[in-house]
């Protein structure tokens, strides 16, 4: 019962972040210079009447709080309005692309989690030794490289040099990317390398910490083989904090998907967001940002719940 | 984002925040042999030299470059040696000249962003660690709110209007990085705020401002200095990514990120216009990171040594 209540409050606490966040996103776009009506009529040299009519059609003649409430109540019903640029329904655009981003993200996370754990445990249990130094240097280099630069390097090597993989991830709209596995390799590899190297460094710190604990010392003094010490005493105690770290890297994956999808012209939410910014499609920008924020909050909350359930001492009274 | 989170600093709203120096203090704790310690200090020193070399070359670009950055010197996508030393880009401009000039704005802007975001984040963190009550709770929630969105998403929201180009990057980096810095500084502040010397200052009736700046700040200088390196990496990451997404440096300027973006469509014709700027960014980012990591260990190691004595 207490656990159920805890789960409920934690989930509620996470979702409570969404409304203030929506105010921030709306206000930022509202306050910064740039008139949606001007962009909607770009290149048409509009008359004053047409301008006024467009402003009325887009609802720009109403006050910002009024428009915000309208937009937010629409959000709650999964209706994010229409693009002022091409009249498309924002929800429809998101619906058409969200699946591709989910496929990309899920593949990255499925690869990243075991990779980060394996490297982190390997390096953490060999702290200061040569294996640790080599992996620490590699991950230190990888975390510094921006995703698009890593993607460019992989494209030059595998797309041009070895001619093994396509340099862009373009495929027919009606297809699923899973029907064209080669287009997924480089985007997935880029994001996995970036996310896994950052996460593995934190897993390593956690593991190295546990390795120095008294109970690990005791286990060794008991004469347990090192392998058993690591498997039974180190990993179970390092896994809780590691889960939080891995959930944090969902943020890296989502932020990185904007870049990686753009580099490879992969038709997902991230490339749609970057394109919407280029065409100044405010409704689409707001819609996609809110979807990404919701995904992040769900991931963080889920990780918090998992960590709390695995390590009861972290359960805080809400 | 990744540059800052990788050291275990507050990567997200509810995460347990590690002291930034901890990882390094622990890494030094292992019984490293003199040879390994030598190796460990040689790599950061070498990367420091790389950083210096990159800074020197890019700042001297106007004198070293064989051609003006906008001059067309040959056919587009000419290979190295065919036209110019490194070949030409998609418009037939000299790649070497553009490469030399292309890091200048990136580095100057990254330095400006580091200072701006560092000062804001440190001030905010000091305040969050010192004040109590409702104001602290509200400020903490606001900081949490800003930590949800990845920096590139913040960047895209702020640049979706007409505000484009390099000037918007400073506020973007301040808004997206200051909360992370604030969390690290807050943790460090909480660590010293109960110290006798702070209590003595409170009893002497010193102002809050004097206590924060003269008593607390000097005592958390280590973590503050350490995050400067992380901020620099982070700034390079955001500025370069902005250039690539088309919302940062605008053409026809010579800029490494922009060069990668512009020449990407022709990467199958000639990989060089993409490969050279990519290598330049990798060299700069990696060497800055290794150097700041080494500096970080040095500071943490010095502290650990003193504490142990």
pLDDT surpassing 80 at residue A201:
yes
Element at A189 (helix H, strand E): helix A181-211
- Are the Cβ atoms of B161 and A32 closer than 8 angstroms? yes
- Are the Cβ atoms of B157 and A143 closer than 8 angstroms? no
pLDDT surpassing 50 at residue A317:
no
Q: Give the DSSP letter of residue B18.
A: P
Distance CA A235, CA A17 (A): 33
pLDDT surpassing 60 at residue B11:
no
By C-alpha distance, the chain B residue nearest A141 is B286
Give the per-residue pLDDT at B14: 37
Angle at which helices A18-31 and A282-310 cross, to 10°: 150
Least confident range of A47-61, A258-272, B62-76: A47-61
Report which of residues A144 and B70 the model is more confident about: A144
Distance CA B164, CA B249 (A): 8
Least confident range of B14-23, B57-66, B107-116, B225-234: B14-23
- Residue A144 has its nearest CB partner, among B8, B150, B233, at B233
Give the per-residue pLDDT at A53: 79
Question: How does residue B20 score in pLDDT terms, banded at 50, 70 and 90?
Answer: very low
Angle at which helices A181-211 and A147-154 cross, to 10°: 130
pLDDT surpassing 60 at residue B9:
no
Best B157, B237, B269, B270 member to test A by mutation, with max A CBs in 10 Å, is B157
**Domains identified in chain B, total number:** 1
pLDDT surpassing 70 at residue B107:
yes
C-alpha distances (whole Å) from A170 to each of A119, A264, B145, B264 are 33, 8, 35, 15
Question: How does residue A188 score in pLDDT terms, banded at 50, 70 and 90?
Answer: very high
Contact predicate A143/B279, CB 8 Å = no
Partners of residue B159 in chain A, C-beta under 8 Å: 277
Question: How does residue A200 score in pLDDT terms, banded at 50, 70 and 90?
Answer: very high
Closest residue by Cα to residue B263 from A185, A147, A272, A155: A155
**Residues in CB range of A285: below 8 A, 6 or more apart:** A29, A273, A276, A277, B156, B157, B160
Partners of residue A197 in chain B, C-beta under 8 Å: 6
How confident is the model over A134-179, as pLDDT tens digits?
A: 999 999 999 999 999 999 999 999 988 887 888 787 788 777 888 8
Least confident range of A49-58, B131-140, B197-206: A49-58
| A310–B contact, CB cutoff 8 A | no
Tokens of A204: 């390593």
pLDDT surpassing 90 at residue B46:
no
- Residue A140 has its nearest CB partner, among B16, B236, B290, at B290
| A134–B contact, CB cutoff 8 A | no
Look up the ipTM and state it: 0.84
Partners of residue B158 in chain A, C-beta under 8 Å: 28, 32
- B279 burial class (0-12, 13-18, 19+ CB within 10 angstroms)? middle
Question: How does residue B67 score in pLDDT terms, banded at 50, 70 and 90?
Answer: confident
Domain-embedded: residue B4: no
pLDDT surpassing 90 at residue B239:
yes
pLDDT surpassing 90 at residue A78:
no
By C-alpha distance, the chain A residue nearest B159 is A277
Mean pLDDT for B180-192 is 88
Give the per-residue pLDDT at A123: 93
Domain-embedded: residue A273: yes
Domain-embedded: residue B159: yes
pLDDT above 70: percentage of residues in chain A = 97
Best A34, A85, A149, A271 member to test B by mutation, with max B CBs in 10 Å, is A149
Give the per-residue pLDDT at B40: 62
Distance CA B286, CA A149 (A): 12
**Domains identified in chain A, total number:** 1
Distance CA A230, CA A238 (A): 10
- Are the Cβ atoms of B241 and A160 closer than 8 angstroms? no
Mean pLDDT for chain B? 80
CATH number at residue B290: 1.10.3720.10
- A199-237 b/e with 16+ CB inside 10 Å = b? bbbbbbbbbbbbbeeeebeebeeeebeeeebbeebbbeb
Contact predicate A251/B12, CB 8 Å = yes
Partners of residue B296 in chain A, C-beta under 8 Å: none
Contact predicate A94/A80, CB 8 Å = yes
pLDDT surpassing 90 at residue A260:
yes
Partners of residue B278 in chain A, C-beta under 8 Å: 149, 152-153, 156
Considering B33-37, B55-59, B80-84, B260-264, the range whose residues carry the highest mean pLDDT is B260-264
- Residue A258 has its nearest CB partner, among B16, B32, B152, at B152
Mean pLDDT for B210-229 is 86
Domain-embedded: residue A219: yes
Sign of CA dihedral A312, A316, B1, B3: negative
Residue tagged 């901020």 (tokens):
B231
Domain-embedded: residue B270: yes
Give the per-residue pLDDT at B293: 86
Best A26, A152, A275, A304 member to test B by mutation, with max B CBs in 10 Å, is A152
- Residue B161 has its nearest CB partner, among A29, A144, A167, at A29
Distance CA B218, CA B234 (A): 24
Question: How does residue B44 score in pLDDT terms, banded at 50, 70 and 90?
Answer: confident
How confident is the model over A285-295, as pLDDT tens digits?
A: 999 999 998 88
Question: How does residue B306 score in pLDDT terms, banded at 50, 70 and 90?
Answer: very low
A 79-118 residues with CB < 8 A to B = none
Best A30, A277, A299 member to test B by mutation, with max B CBs in 10 Å, is A277
By C-alpha distance, the chain B residue nearest A36 is B161
By C-alpha distance, the chain B residue nearest A271 is B245
pLDDT above 70: percentage of residues in chain B = 83
How confident is the model over B251-263, as pLDDT tens digits?
A: 888 899 999 999 9
Distance CA A155, CA A143 (A): 19
How confident is the model over A64-75, as pLDDT tens digits?
A: 888 888 888 888
- Are the Cβ atoms of A33 and B163 closer than 8 angstroms? yes
- Residue B158 has its nearest CB partner, among A28, A249, A293, at A28
Closest residue by Cα to residue B185 from B132, B134, B233, B128: B128
- Are the Cβ atoms of A241 and B16 closer than 8 angstroms? yes
Give the per-residue pLDDT at B37: 58
Give the per-residue pLDDT at A306: 76
- Are the Cβ atoms of B3 and A144 closer than 8 angstroms? yes
Give the per-residue pLDDT at A108: 94
Cβ contacts from A onto B, under 8 A? 216
Give the per-residue pLDDT at B8: 38
Tokens of B86: 């490194």
Best B154, B160, B247, B288 member to test A by mutation, with max A CBs in 10 Å, is B160
Mean pLDDT for B33-57 is 76
C-alpha distances (whole Å) from A80 to each of A76, A89, A251, B299 are 9, 7, 23, 51
CATH number at residue A298: 1.10.3720.10
Least confident range of A81-90, A262-271, B111-120: A81-90
Q: Is B31 helix (H, G, I), strand (E, B) or coil?
A: coil
Domain-embedded: residue A5: no
Range of the structural domain that residue B265 is part of: 42-305
Best A37, A131, A145, A207 member to test B by mutation, with max B CBs in 10 Å, is A145
Least confident range of A109-118, B24-33, B126-135: B24-33
| A131–B contact, CB cutoff 8 A | no
**Residues in CB range of A262: below 8 A, 6 or more apart:** A148, A270, A271, A274, B244, B245
Give the per-residue pLDDT at B30: 42
- Residue B150 has its nearest CB partner, among A28, A161, A251, at A251
Least confident range of A87-101, A154-168, A226-240, B32-46: B32-46
Give the per-residue pLDDT at B2: 42
Partners of residue A274 in chain B, C-beta under 8 Å: 156, 245-246
Contact predicate B235/B292, CB 8 Å = no
- Are the Cβ atoms of B26 and A205 closer than 8 angstroms? yes
C-alpha distances (whole Å) from A44 to each of A40, A41, A192 are 9, 6, 45
Distance from the B56 Cα atom to the nearest Cα atom in chain A, whole angstroms: 21
Give the per-residue pLDDT at A110: 92
Range of the structural domain that residue A147 is part of: 90-315
Give the per-residue pLDDT at B253: 85
pLDDT surpassing 70 at residue B1:
no
Question: How does residue B302 score in pLDDT terms, banded at 50, 70 and 90?
Answer: low
Distance CA A165, CA B106 (A): 31
C-alpha distances (whole Å) from B127 to each of B131, B209, B260 are 6, 10, 41
């Amino acid at each position: 019962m207490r656990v159920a209540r805890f789960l409920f409050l934690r989930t509620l606490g996470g979702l409570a972040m969404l409304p203030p966040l929506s105010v921030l996103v709306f206000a930022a776009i509202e306050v910064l210079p740039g008139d949606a009506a001007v962009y909607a009529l770009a290149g048409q040299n509009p008359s004053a009447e047409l301008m006024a009519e467009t402003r009325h059609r887009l609802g720009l003649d109403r006050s910002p709080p009024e428009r915000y409430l309208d937009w937010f109540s629409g959000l709650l019903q999964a209706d994010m309005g229409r693009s002022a640029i091409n009249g498309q329904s924002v929800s429809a655009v998101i619906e058409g692309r969200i699946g591709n981003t989910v496929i990309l993200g899920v593949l990255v996370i499925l690869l990243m989690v075991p990779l980060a754990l394996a490297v982190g445990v390997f390096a953490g249990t060999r702290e200061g030794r040569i294996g640790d130094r080599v992996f620490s240097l590699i991950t230190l280099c990888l975390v510094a490289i921006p995703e698009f630069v890593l993607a460019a390097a992989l494209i030059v090597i595998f797309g041009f040099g070895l001619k093994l993989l396509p340099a862009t991830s373009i495929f027919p709209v009606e297809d699923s990317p899973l029907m064209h596995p080669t287009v997924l390799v480089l985007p997935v590899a880029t994001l996995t390398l970036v996310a896994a190297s950052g996460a593995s460094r934190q897993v390593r710190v956690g593991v190295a910490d546990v390795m120095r604990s008294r109970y690990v010392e005791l286990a060794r003094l008991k004469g347990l083989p090192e392998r058993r010490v690591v498997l039974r005493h180190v990993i179970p105690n390092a896994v809780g904090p590691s889960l939080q770290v891995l959930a944090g890297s969902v943020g890296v994956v989502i932020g990185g998907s904007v870049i990686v999808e753009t580099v490879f012209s992969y038709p997902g939410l991230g490339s749609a967001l970057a394109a919407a910014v280029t065409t100044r499609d405010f409704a689409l920008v707001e819609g996609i940002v809110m979807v990404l924020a919701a995904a992040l909050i769900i991931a963080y909350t889920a990780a918090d719940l998992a960590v709390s359930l695995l390590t009861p001492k972290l359960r805080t009274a809400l | 984002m990744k540059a800052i989170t990788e050291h275990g600093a507050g990567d997200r709203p509810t995460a347990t925040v590690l002291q930034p120096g901890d990882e390094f203090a622990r890494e030094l704790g292992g019984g490293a042999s003199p040879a390994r310690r030598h190796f460990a200090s040689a790599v950061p020193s070498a990367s420091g030299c790389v950083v210096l070399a990159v800074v020197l070359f890019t700042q001297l670009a106007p004198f070293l470059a064989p051609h003006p950055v906008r001059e067309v010197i040959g056919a587009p996508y000419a290979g190295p040696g065919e036209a110019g030393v490194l070949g030409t880009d998609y418009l037939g401009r000299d790649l070497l000249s553009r490469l030399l000039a292309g890091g200048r704005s990136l580095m100057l802007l990254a330095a400006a962003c580091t200072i701006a975001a560092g000062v804001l984040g440190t001030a905010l963190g000091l305040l969050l660690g010192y004040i109590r009550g409702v104001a602290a709770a509200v400020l903490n929630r606001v900081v949490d709110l800003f930590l949800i969105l990845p920096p590139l998403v913040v960047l895209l929201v702020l640049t979706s209007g007409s505000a484009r180009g390099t000037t918007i990057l400073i506020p973007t980096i301040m808004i997206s990085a200051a909360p992370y810095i604030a969390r690290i500084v807050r943790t460090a502040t909480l660590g010293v705020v109960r110290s006798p010397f702070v209590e003595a200052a409170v009893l002497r009736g010193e102002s809050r401002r004097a206590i924060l700046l003269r008593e607390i700040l000097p005592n958390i200088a280590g973590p503050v200095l350490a995050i400067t390196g992380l901020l620099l990496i982070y700034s390079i990451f955001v500025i370069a990514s902005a250039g690539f997404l088309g919302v940062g440096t605008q053409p026809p300027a010579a800029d490494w990120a922009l060069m990668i973006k512009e020449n990407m469509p022709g990467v199958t014709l000639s990989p060089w216009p993409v490969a050279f700027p990519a290598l330049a960014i990798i060299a700069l980012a990696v060497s800055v990171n290794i150097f700041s990591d080494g500096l970080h260990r040095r500071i943490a190691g010095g502290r650990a040594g003193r504490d142990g004595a």
